[in-house]
Structure 1
Amino acid sequence: MNDDIKNRHDFWRGPVQHAIELTAEEKHIDMFGHVNNAWYIAWAMECAWAHSDALGLDFAAYERIGVGCVVRHHDYTYYASAVAGDRVAIGTWIARNDGRMRMIRAIEMRRMNDGTLLVAGETEFVAVSIATGKPARMPAEYARLYAPPEELTS
């Protein structure tokens, strides 16, 4: 699914670098009868890790390097709801990376059957030392691999 949906430029608003697909299940549904907002954040993080893994930056690599990227802030807008049984496509791309400490990852979620935009937003990540949990300089490898799409083609 990843390459098929990722490369659908008519489907996404942004330059998706990685995509996953999942199905909304009963466990995701809240009292309002739709997917609870907390699940969208969990799904965004699942997609972010899948992208990092695909880049060769899984948690084992973070441990080897001694620096990891952790969430500082989420800023998401919810446009429509998913319900149980909906297939949801989640696309992500690196929107900005200062190459020092801060990276912004964009996320977009769409219902597969009709392309409806469900959620869009950004998550700010900061680099931290695995040993201390304190802010750390982003390794050059991260700046290179976590590059925005326009930097990868230039």
Structure 2
Amino acid sequence: MNMVWDYPNAFTLRVTPGIADIDGLNHTNNAVYVRWCENIGWTHSESLGLSLEDYHRLDRAMAIRQASYDYLLPTILNEELLLATWLVASDGKITMERRFQLIREKDKAVVMRGHWNLVCIEVSSGKVRRMPAEFSDLYLPAIVTHNTNLKAP
């Protein structure tokens, strides 16, 4: 059975909740999903050619302005999950949008969706600044178009 992703060309990462990820309700703690999203976001950025070192060298970074997560189903210890991410929009100057989707592998159920609104900042001051050419050259070609099969959370 194939995964049904919200967008095409998913960048994926396999994740499995360990004992430290489980909360008092015997489910994966919500903060763990946030950490996984941060991890795949960096991994995706690095795969496109931009690392944390590049952010410091360029004195620019894509920072999270707003984040939201829809926790649809719980996950448990040792469940095999597949997390996907996409860049889905940008104004080409200052903002970008990143989406996430987490699927439980055994039944292909969507267990979480996430959304980040990102803004380009100058690392040294924290002020909003225009994306450098290197960001535009590497991030903008990675933007995917919306899948018409996407169901609203």
Aligned to 1:73: 66
**Higher RCO, 1 vs 2 (CA within 8 Å, ≥6 residues apart):** 2
Q: 1:85 to 1:9 in 2, by over 3 A?
A: closer
**What is the match of residue 41 of structure 2?**
48
Task: Note the residue ranges of structure 1 that are not aligned, 5 or more in a row.
Answer: 1-7
Match of 2:57 in 1: 64
Q: What does residue 14 of structure 1 align with?
A: 7
Matches of 2:49 and 2:118, distance apart in 1: 18
Equivalent position of 1:100 in the other structure: 93
The sequence identity of aligned pairs, in percent, is 29
Q: Distance in 2 between matches of 1:51 and 1:58?
A: 10
Aligned equivalents of 1:149 and 1:57: distance in 2? 18
The RMSD of aligned alpha carbons is: 1.6
What is the CA–CA distance in structure 2 between the aligned matches of 1:34 and 1:88, rounded to whole Å?
A: 13
TM-score, normalised to structure 2, is: 0.87
1:7-53 Cα offsets, whole Å, 9 max, x none, are x9743122244111111111111111101111111101111000001
Task: Tell me the distance in 2 between the aligned counterparts of 1:36 and 1:73.
Answer: 20
Q: Deviations over 1:44-89 (max 9, x none)?
A: 1111000001011010111121101111111211111110001111
Partner of 2:18: 25
Note if 1:128 corresponds to 2:135: no
> Does 2:137 align with 1:139?
no
Which consecutive unaligned segments of at least 5 residues does structure 2 have? 146-153
- Taking structure 1 as the reference length, what is the TM-score of the superposition? 0.86
CA drift of 1:149 comes to 2.0
Q: How many residues align?
A: 143
| Residue type at the aligned position of 1:29 | I
1:91 equivalenced with 2:84 (yes/no): yes
Cα pair 2:7 2:144 within 8 Å, conserved: no
